[in-house]
């Protein structure tokens, strides 16, 4: 199979038929062997009914339905787990991503040997105040913090080698940072391609301004995880040892001063330096223990991605 197209969705019943027909036309004109994986993230409209009808008409259509809304990251994780294509394409279900971009994304992976190609919606048709400006600020911060030089981390249209999606774990709200997760996992051949962006025709956006707040918080998390996620002792242990040495140095100075320099002076417990040294040693010990416990958790951690599937269509587990 050449291509697996993973489409997470929430209440997009009006656009699914049109999106399906558009994708099929592109696949057939390029003679791709393909599958379309619709991941219904707890929709309350007729989305699952439409997916079921499409699967009856087209055996290449597959579907996974969650019991409730678990989030886009969990939907992508389920799609990645089920995908069988040589190249995995992700796109949104609202018709703002153009399926005509798929062949070139595919060839960048197969012929240029990239691990990941991210779409860049250079010209957008979203609100300037609520989406464009916050998105530019967010992408600037993501580039500076992560070191991955992409202009549009949030673009849903991306292409991956199969090996990439099978070796990364997308959980929480980390779908924005899949390129960072891929780089952290050793897949360094990452590029971007300018793609067409289209105005939403049906329904309304499922994301508000809170996604940018959550995005910046997740950015801090992913920055820490990418650098110290597998070795927390290197951060907490180093800080703990440093704090303990500072505290112990203060305590040693106070002891020498009391014994040999000013033996008749104030008691050590009456000096503020004593409490600073004690606090520093306590904080240092706690940081060291936090790093030690983190190492134990990393080594015993199991898959933390959580979602409950209600129904599946044409999904075979190998």
- pLDDT at position 158: 96
Structure tokens of 13?
């019943």
In what order do the strands lie in the sheet containing 61-66? 190-194, 116-120, 158-161, 87-90, 3-9, 34-40, 61-66, 309-313
Non-local (6+) Cβ contacts of 280 within 8 A are 243, 244, 246, 247, 250
Helix (H) or strand (E) holding 90: strand 87-90
Whole-angstrom Cα distance, residue 50 to residue 58? 12
- pLDDT at position 302: 52
- pLDDT at position 185: 85
Write phi, then psi, for 141 (nearest 5 degrees). -65, -40
Helix (H) or strand (E) holding 119: strand 116-120
Strand 309-313 to strand 61-66: parallel, antiparallel, or no bridges (unpaired)? Answer: antiparallel
Whole-angstrom Cα distance, residue 227 to residue 219? 12
- pLDDT at position 38: 97
What are the beta bridge partners of residue 118?
158, 192
Longest dimension (CA), the chain: 95
Whole-angstrom Cα distance, residue 54 to residue 52? 5
Number of H helices, E strands in the chain: 10, 8
Write phi, then psi, for 204 (nearest 5 degrees). -140, 160
Structure tokens of 276?
């600073």
Q: Report CA Rg, the chain.
A: 26
Report the chain's terminal Cα–Cα distance, integer Å. Answer: 15
C-alpha dist (Å) from residue 86 to 3, 27, 170 = 6, 14, 19
- pLDDT tens, N- to C-terminus, the chain (318 residues): 899 999 999 999 999 999 999 999 999 999 999 999 999 999 999 999 999 999 999 999 999 999 999 989 999 999 999 999 999 999 999 998 999 999 999 999 999 999 999 999 887 666 555 566 777 777 887 787 778 889 888 889 999 999 999 998 887 777 888 998 898 888 989 999 999 887 777 766 655 556 666 667 777 776 776 677 678 888 898 999 999 999 999 899 888 888 888 887 778 888 888 899 999 999 999 999 998 888 887 777 655 566 777 788 888 755
Structure tokens of 195?
């793609």
Helix axes 13-29, 47-57, angle to 10 degrees: 30
Say which DSSP state 197 is in.
B
pTM across the whole model: 0.75
Non-local (6+) Cβ contacts of 235 within 8 A are 224, 227, 228, 291
């Amino acid at each position: 199979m050449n291509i697996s197209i993973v489409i997470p969705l929430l209440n997009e019943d009006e656009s699914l038929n049109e999106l399906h027909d558009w994708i099929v036309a592109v696949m057939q004109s390029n003679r791709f062997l393909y599958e379309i994986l619709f991941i219904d993230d707890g929709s309350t409209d007729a989305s699952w009914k439409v997916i079921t009808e499409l699967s009856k008409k087209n055996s290449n259509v597959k579907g996974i339905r969650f019991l409730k809304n678990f989030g886009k990251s969990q939907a992508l994780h389920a799609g990645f787990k089920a995908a069988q294509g040589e190249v995995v394409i992700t796109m949104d279900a609202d018709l703002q991503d153009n399926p005509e971009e798929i062949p070139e994304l595919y060839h960048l992976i197969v012929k240029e040997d990239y691990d990941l190609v991210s779409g860049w919606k250079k010209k957008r048709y979203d609100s300037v105040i609520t989406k464009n400006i916050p998105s530019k600020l967010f992408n600037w911060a993501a580039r500076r913090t992560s070191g991955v030089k992409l202009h549009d981390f949030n673009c849903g249209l991306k292409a991956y080698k199969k090996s990439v999606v099978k070796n990364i774990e997308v959980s929480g709200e980390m779908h924005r940072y899949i390129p960072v997760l891929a780089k952290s996992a050793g897949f360094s051949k990452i590029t971007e391609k300018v793609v067409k962006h289209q105005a939403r025709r049906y329904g309304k956006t499922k994301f508000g301004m809170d996604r940018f707040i959550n995005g910046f918080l997740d950015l801090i998390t992913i920055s820490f995880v990418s650098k110290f996620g597998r070795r927390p002792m290197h951060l907490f242990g180093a800080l703990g040892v440093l704090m303990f040495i500072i505290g112990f140095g203060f305590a040693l100075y106070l002891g020498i001063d009391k014994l040999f320099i000013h033996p008749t002076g104030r008691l050590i417990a009456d000096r503020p330096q004593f409490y600073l040294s004690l606090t520093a040693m306590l904080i240092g010990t706690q940081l060291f223990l936090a790093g030690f416990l983190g190492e134990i958790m990393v080594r015993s951690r199991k898959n933390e991605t959580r979602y409950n599937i209600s129904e599946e269509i044409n999904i075979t587990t190998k």
